[in-house]
Amino acid sequence: MSFLTQKALPRRTFLRGLGATVALPYLEAMKPAGRLLNPAAVAPTAKTRVVCIESVHGAAGSSNLGATKYLWAPREVGRQFTFVPDSALKPLEGWRDYLTIVSNTDVRMAEPFDAPEIGGDHFRSSAVFLTQAHPKQTQGSDVYVGTSFDQIVARHIGQDTALPSMQLCIENLDQAGGCYYNYACAYTDSISWASPTEPLPMIRNPRVAFDILFGAGSNHADRANRRKENGSILDWITGEMASLKRQLGNADRVRVDQYLENVRELERRIQKIEAQNRSGAERQLPDAPAGVPDSFEEHMKIMFDVQVLAFESDMTRVTAFKTGRDASSRVYPESGTNKGFHPASHHGGREAAIMDFNMINRYHVSMLPYFLDKLKATTDGDGNLLDKTMIIYGSPMADGNTHNHRRCPLILLGGANGQLQGNVHLKAPDGTPMADVFLTLLHKLGVNDVSTFGDSACPFTLTA
């Protein structure tokens, strides 16, 4: 590739070697040919990335007492909102320019429709979050709910990427067959549905996600052998990397070096986790794969890094991320309480117990700034990934104590290529379906042929 002849490096450029396939980030050398003669030529980097993050069990701020204490939604509506000291959203104070809070929306499709469904909220809610549709109660293979938001978006903006979408998770989601209250475990295991009858598997093991992104070997045995013999996938592409860098300008060389170092650093962290978990030392998660960290925070951060590299290399533009499993009793001591997640959500309306649950909510939200910082620090064309990303974070449950689905937590983050204004709290009128917000987001992402989504009534205005 020569800047004199103005031949552009293809956007879909991969470094390949011995089973490794490493996609490159967007480089100056990828700008359209003839850009010096035609300054109006622009780089194809305007695609919005979309992240859908589910947090189960609702929020303390959705309980009656929690709402009056503004533990989730602020008191003020509009741009002049403030967070009370105990707010679960307080960790996002420094990111309010990228934060849109949408409060008081309902996920009625997660409620029981018939008597046999009463009590089964935990085992259908996750399937509702991104579909906003009511699951068919069954323990058989005849599951039915709806096509999820992320998959509709992936069909619109992800079909020219190697992976139209990625589905990631933190908790163990490999149960098969039926769960409780006559619901198939598929409803609990996935938030991403390719069709009403097709739940998509979610990846818990960072090693699996890494190998998918970087084509590290053709099968499990091959990957294991190559990791043992070579140490890093970057060792497999040394020749191609050297050849490529000879054709790049100085700025692009620096960009490639930084990107590959980030790939290598992620790989090192995964290798370190695997080595520790195979050492024979006692594990907090003894049944988890070796690549899964025992630490929730470390697991969250490494999965965020996977998504950043996936977006930077344009391997995918859409991710769904399930951060917990309904009815999980996992303990988060770093949150300030040693109560299990599910038991803490059943606070009985007691103020002290509500505040314990709020500590867990706040701890979970405190994971987000790491992701935001990584996205903002990652160059994409003439901007950064945070300005070009839409992040949806919420829960299909409101008050976990009563399994209520009214006044559910929902926030939006990122710039979404100018489609989210940020620094605003929008309170929906009573009875507004969360599906209305999803319908608006579909339109903002250019999916204009969808006029309804789930139980939506009309688009929801996302401006103050």
Q: What is the pLDDT of residues 185-213, one digit of tens each?
A: 999 999 999 999 999 999 999 999 999 99
pLDDT tens-digit readout, 380-393: 988 999 999 999 99
Bridge partner list, 99:
413
Which H or E run contains 372? helix 368-376
Number of domains into which the chain is organized: 1
Residue 312 in domain: yes
User: How far lies 355's CA from each of 73, 336, 340, 345, 362, in Å?
Assistant: 15, 10, 14, 10, 10
Least confident of 11-25, 308-322, 329-343: 11-25
Residue 270 in domain: no
User: CATH no. for residue 328?
Assistant: 3.40.720
Is the separation of the CB atoms in 336 and 185 below 8 Å? no
What are φ and ψ of residue 156, in 5° steps?
-90, -40
pLDDT of residue 175: 60
Domain interval for residue 102: 50-204+296-444
Residue 60 in domain: yes
pLDDT tens-digit readout, 328-375: 999 999 999 999 999 999 999 999 999 999 999 999 999 999 999 999
Residue 237 in domain: no
pLDDT tens-digit readout, 140-168: 999 999 999 999 999 999 989 999 999 99
Task: Give helix 434-444 / helix 149-157 axis angle, nearest 10°.
Answer: 0
- Site of tokens 């069909």: 155
Average confidence (pLDDT) over 87-99: 98
Residue 156 in domain: yes
Residue 326 in domain: yes
Residue 86 burial by CB count (10 A; 0-12/13-18/19+): exposed, middle or buried? middle
pLDDT of residue 42: 44
Residue 76 in domain: yes
Alpha helices (H) in 118-219, listed in sequence order: 125-129, 149-157, 185-189, 206-214
In three-state secondary structure terms, 202 is coil
pLDDT of residue 229: 53
**Structure tokens of 210?**
């890494």
How high is the mean pLDDT of the chain? 91
Residue 189 in domain: yes
- Label residue 234 by pLDDT band (50, 70, 90): confident
Task: Find, among 296, 352, 327, 328, the residue nearest to 60 by Cα.
Answer: 352
Which H or E run contains 99? strand 99-106
